[in-house]
Amino acid sequence: MTELFVNLAPVLRGAVRVPGDKSASHRAVLISAMADGESTIEGLSTGDDVQRTLSIVEALGASISTLDGKLSILGPHEGLVAATHPLDCGNSGTAMRLLAGVLTGVPGTHELVGDESLMKRPMGRVIDPLRSMGAEISGAANDLPPVAIVGGSTLAGIDYQVPTPSAQVKSAVLFAGLKAVGTTTVHEAIRTRKTTENMLTEALVSVTSKDEGVGRVVSLQPGRPMPRHWHIPGDPSQAAFFAVLGLIHPNASIGVVKLLDEDERTGYIGVLQRMGGLISQKVKDAHPALQIRSSRLLATEIFAAEIPSVDEVPVLTIAAAAATGVTSFRDMSELRIKESDRFAGSMMLASSVGCEVWSEGDDFFVRGLGSATNFVHFAVDGGLDHRIVMAAAVAATAGRGGVIANWETVESSYPQFFDDLSSIQ
Ligand code: S3P
């Protein structure tokens, strides 16, 4: 186990360009591999999660090459074929769940495995709807990985209400629907990221999407995606680390540029503004960019529905730790089944910097210290969770420094995170 010593930074200035959006990157790779012909991708996420998806589609018969910094994926004319070995998704739940949907349409036997963290994550949420479409798919005990699939059976489109908001589940069903007979419809009670439906539409698949109140209905007709050129903008969830850092740091004026434009991904900005954060979003070079300045934050009440997927909660916990008053995090059950138990992990982070924290059912509470300058120097273990490591690094840089064990897990989504953090100091 290696430890990283993160020091407090006296001043933060400059702008960061975060890696390509992870969700869009997985989808660009998968859609290109399913297409007939050559697609190119610019701005692909550099993290190990997306590299796994790339290696897996190569094992399934797609040809990958790089020319002039552009990645090319050639989807085989006859379609993807089964690999001769288990498909290792590493740390990536997105890879495993999306591939489950894709592989139901690929003839042959497939097995999806992952690292120690992923092997503990629930797959029943994708197995159930895919099975009701006619797929031969099963998990181990309690529907944990490995996931075994016999692809190529006749699938029928379904009308599916996703029980818990999840873009991964929606996407697995839609990808399976590409090879099903008839229409596949997915209802979400709360809108999640629309990356899959947008990108399938760009690949000329027939998809309709209609917002209903705070929910959405997406319908898809079977078809094969067309190859295309993908340009992937920056990941708004990675920008959240710099947003919180700039706000809670006593002497900061920083930017994050070239971000993906999607309402479902920027709920955290509204939360931070409500806390009094001086954070603004402008269009610069045709993409959203954030400008962030040191702020005095006040506690608030944060609902999971405001930030579907709750990816930004670990770092929002650090904002709460620097705020004045008690911040409530409500309906946070989904946090428990991410790359680690982020419910426990987020509370652990706030407690490590010196806050009083407590929980009631699916809610947890953080009594803020009024300023990051009141944080204590701390030591934490990032476990197998990149977002816990990056949130801890934000706390250390804005507060009194800290030590992070198992920090290397940032490789899964943002290998250059610590370089980018140094670049603004
Ligand atoms: C993702 C969906 C979310 C999110 C994950 C990426 C996606 O998961 O947490 O980081 O790309 O579809 P859920 O679908 O479990 O909410």
- Residue 120's pLDDT band (cuts 50, 70, 90): very high
CA distance 148 to 138: 5
Same domain, 345 and 266: yes
Same domain, 298 and 399: yes
Q: What is the pLDDT of residue 67?
A: 83
Residue 321 is assigned to a structural domain of this protein: yes
Residue type, 425: Q
Residue 342 is assigned to a structural domain of this protein: yes
Q: What is the pLDDT of residue 9?
A: 87
Q: Does residue 23 line the site of ligand 1, with CB under 6 A? A: yes
What does the pLDDT average to over 273-300? Answer: 95
Same domain, 10 and 115: no
Instruction: Examine the pLDDT at 1 and tell me if it is beyond 90.
Output: no
Q: What is the pLDDT of residue 285?
A: 83
What does the pLDDT average to over 378-402? Answer: 96
Phi and psi at 264, nearest 5°, equal -65, -10
CA distance 345 to 404: 13
- Our CA dihedral for 240, 297, 5, 415, rounded to 10 degrees, sits at 0
Same domain, 240 and 106: no
Residue 212 is assigned to a structural domain of this protein: no
Same domain, 243 and 324: yes
What proportion of the chain, given as a percentage, has pLDDT over 70? Answer: 100
21 has catalytic annotation: no
Same domain, 336 and 391: yes
Residue 204 is assigned to a structural domain of this protein: no
Specify the number of domains making up the chain. 2
Same domain, 12 and 71: no
Is the Cα torsion angle 88, 117, 320, 354 positive or negative in sign?
negative
Same domain, 9 and 108: no
Q: Does residue 168 line the site of ligand 1, with CB under 6 A? A: yes
pLDDT, one tens digit per residue, over 315-348 is 999 999 999 999 999 999 999 999 999 999 999 9
94 alpha carbon – ligand 1 mean position (Å): 6
What does the pLDDT average to over 31-50? Answer: 97
What proportion of the chain, given as a percentage, has pLDDT over 90? Answer: 96
Same domain, 8 and 120: no
Residue type, 104: T
335 alpha carbon – ligand 1 mean position (Å): 11
Residue 188 is assigned to a structural domain of this protein: no
Residue 347 is assigned to a structural domain of this protein: yes
Atom of ligand 1 nearest to the CA of 166: 14
Residue 221 is assigned to a structural domain of this protein: no
Q: What is the pLDDT of residue 68?
A: 80
Phi and psi at 386, nearest 5°, equal -55, -40
Residue 206 is assigned to a structural domain of this protein: no
What b/e string do you get for 374-400 counting C-beta neighbours within 10 Å, with b at 16 or more? ebeebebbbbbbbbbbbbbbbbbbbbb
User: What's the full length of the chain, in residues?
Assistant: 425
CATH assignment of the domain containing 328: 3.65.10.10
Of 69 and 40, more confident: 40
Same domain, 7 and 56: no
Ligand 1 site-directed mutation target among 21, 49, 94, most atoms within 8 Å of CB: 94
pLDDT, one tens digit per residue, over 139-184 is 999 999 999 999 999 999 999 999 999 999 999 999 999 999 999 9
Q: Does residue 412 line the site of ligand 1, with CB under 6 A? A: no
Mean pLDDT for the chain overall: 97
Same domain, 351 and 417: yes
Distances (CA, A) of 88 to 10, 57, 149, 253, 412: 42, 11, 14, 41, 13
What does the pLDDT average to over 404-421? Answer: 97
What does the pLDDT average to over 36-47? Answer: 96
Q: What is the pLDDT of residue 112?
A: 98
Bridge partners of residue 36, in order along the sequence: none
What does the pLDDT average to over 291-298? Answer: 98
Instruction: Examine the pLDDT at 233 and tell me if it is beyond 90.
Output: yes
List the domain range (segments joined by +) for residue 84.
22-156+163-180+193-199
- Residue 22's pLDDT band (cuts 50, 70, 90): very high
Identify the residue whose C-alpha is closest to ligand 1 atom 3: 309
Please identify which residue in the block is written with the tokens 């670990």: 314
pTM (two decimals): 0.97
Please identify which residue in the block is written with the tokens 């989808």: 27
Atom of ligand 1 nearest to the CA of 164: 16
Instruction: Write down the catalytic residue from 48, 235, 311, 385.
Output: 311
pLDDT, one tens digit per residue, over 205-229 is 999 999 999 999 999 999 999 999 9
Instruction: Examine the pLDDT at 69 and tell me if it is beyond 80.
Output: no
Q: What is the pLDDT of residue 384?
A: 87
Residue type, 294: S
Same domain, 260 and 361: yes
Q: Does residue 51 line the site of ligand 1, with CB under 6 A? A: no
CA distance 167 to 182: 22
